[in-house]
Amino acid sequence: MSQKFQNDEIDELDDIFEEVDLGPSRIKEPGLNPFKELANLALYIVLILSITFLLVNYVAQRTVVDGSSMNDTLEDGDSLFIDKLSYRFSEPERYDIVVFDYMYKLDTHYVKRIIALPGETVQIKDGIIYVDKKDGNGLQPLDDDIYGNAEIAEAHYGLASDPIVVGQDEYFVMGDNRNNSHDSRKADVGLVSKDQIVGKVVLRIWPLSTVKWFG
């Protein structure tokens, strides 16, 4: 009796397995929707363009030096990266190299070095730069200026032959090629407002042999 029950149970299991399809399983791929694919592609393009716009307008930008006014620090044709974000959270500092808008010509930018800060007084005499840093010492030689490539000839003192008081949110800038630079010593450039500053030069990426971080 017990043996017969076991055999009947086995027969029932065989019937169950015969009904089960043990062949390889397959996943049915959903059909491609061309309109959905096109929408995804458009969204991707918009995202890339938006990121590029934000980077170029608010974070960083590449520019190329045109001219010799920043020799020997920068040379004609040097390719630079500009940090456009830092000055939104901090103030420009003395000796920063900045790119700024030239007010009298559309889409024209100058690259110079900050020499005097807001509220300071600057003057050129005896071939060197004097700055009153508001520390009670009056006009003093800018002894830590190691960037100028030559003593300044009297013919190039320009507006700085007399003391210049730098206004609030303004900066006195000069090229490192002190005797061949169109900068704050010229009336059409003058003091540069913070609003004019595009950004700070942080990196030279070309030529490869002269890659340098300015920070």
Catalytic residue status for 125: no
Q: Which of 21-25, 38-42, 107-111, 170-174 shows the lowest per-residue confidence on average (mean pLDDT)? A: 21-25
* Full domain range(s) for residue 72: 63-213
Which entry of 84, 112, 181, 200 is annotated as an active-site residue?
Answer: 112
Residue 177 lies in a domain: yes
**pLDDT at residue 162, as a whole number:** 98
Residues 100 and 110: beta-carbon distance below 8 Å? yes
**Do the domain assignments include residue 158?**
yes
In a domain, 120, yes or no: yes
Q: The domain spanning residue 161 has which CATH number?
A: 2.10.109.10
Q: Is residue 26 part of a domain?
A: no
Q: Do residues 154 and 178 make contact, with C-beta atoms less than 8 angstroms apart?
A: no
Tell if the pTM clears 0.85, that is, is over it.
no
Would residue 20 count as lying in a domain? no
pLDDT classification of 3: cutoffs 50, 70, 90? very low
Among the options 2, 68, 69, 134, which is catalytic?
Answer: 69
Strand partners, 204: 80, 212
Q: What is the mean pLDDT of residues 27-44?
A: 68
Residues 6+ apart with CB under 8 A from 195: 169
Q: Is 69 a catalytic residue?
A: yes
Q: Give me the chain's average pLDDT, please.
A: 84
Q: Are 120 and 182 in contact (CB under 8 A)?
A: no
The total number of structural domains in the chain stands at 1
Whether residue 56 lies inside any domain: the answer is no
Residue 23 lies in a domain: no
pLDDT of the residue at 37: 78
Helical H segments across the chain, by residue range:
2-19, 34-54
- At residue 2, the pLDDT reads 44
- Asked whether residue 4 is assigned to any structural domain, the reply reads no
